[in-house]
Amino acid sequence: MPRVAPAAHQEALRRAGLPVRGRLADLFALLRASPDTHLRLAEVAHMAAEAGLAATPVEIDRQLKTLADHGLLSRLPSTAPEPVFDTVPEPHFHLVYEDPAQIVDLDVSPETLFAILRNALAERPDSVEIMVRFRAIRSRPRTQPSGNGASS
């Protein structure tokens, strides 16, 4: 497990007001390197153990929630017993299949999304559920004065 997060990860952590070194930074780098973008706690704990990142599931759960609370991950609404974390924190569209248990990212325009929804509703009108999520508006961390002596 690398002990120094790549510069882009460090910058994201720094902007979020989080430490750029240590277990949290190592976990963040591990998540960003994962080919899977939708992860449950058990999957992250397994990945961490394989990577040699010593942490209990309770610690990993706390770290995942910290990363989500700071906007570096998102939590997907789920009816599963444990939350699903998305390593792509920006708002985007998802298709959630209950059988098989699968979440698919949709990187499409709103027009294409509407077409996908119309098609799904036409093909399976009794098994499509639509949920629209309005995310809380996050305030960005205030930047420090530039030190040039100017005041507002």
pLDDT for the residue 2? 45
Query: Higher pLDDT residue, 149 or 15?
Result: 15
Residue 8 to residue 10: CA distance in whole angstroms: 5
Domain boundary assignment for the chain: 1-89, 91-135
Average pLDDT, integer, range 61-67: 95
pLDDT digits (tens, 9 = 90+) for 109-119: 999 999 999 99
pLDDT for the residue 63? 96
Task: List residues bridging with 106 in a β-sheet.
Answer: 93
Provide the pLDDT confidence category of residue 145 given band limits of 50, 70 and 90: very low
Provide the pLDDT confidence category of residue 130 given band limits of 50, 70 and 90: confident
pLDDT for the residue 78? 67
Q: Which of 3, 6, 5, 80 is nearest to 38 (CA)?
A: 80
Residue 132 to residue 93: CA distance in whole angstroms: 10
1-89: which CATH architecture? Orthogonal Bundle (1.10)
Answer yes or no: is pLDDT of 85 > 50. yes
Q: Which residue has the tokens 């990212």?
A: 105
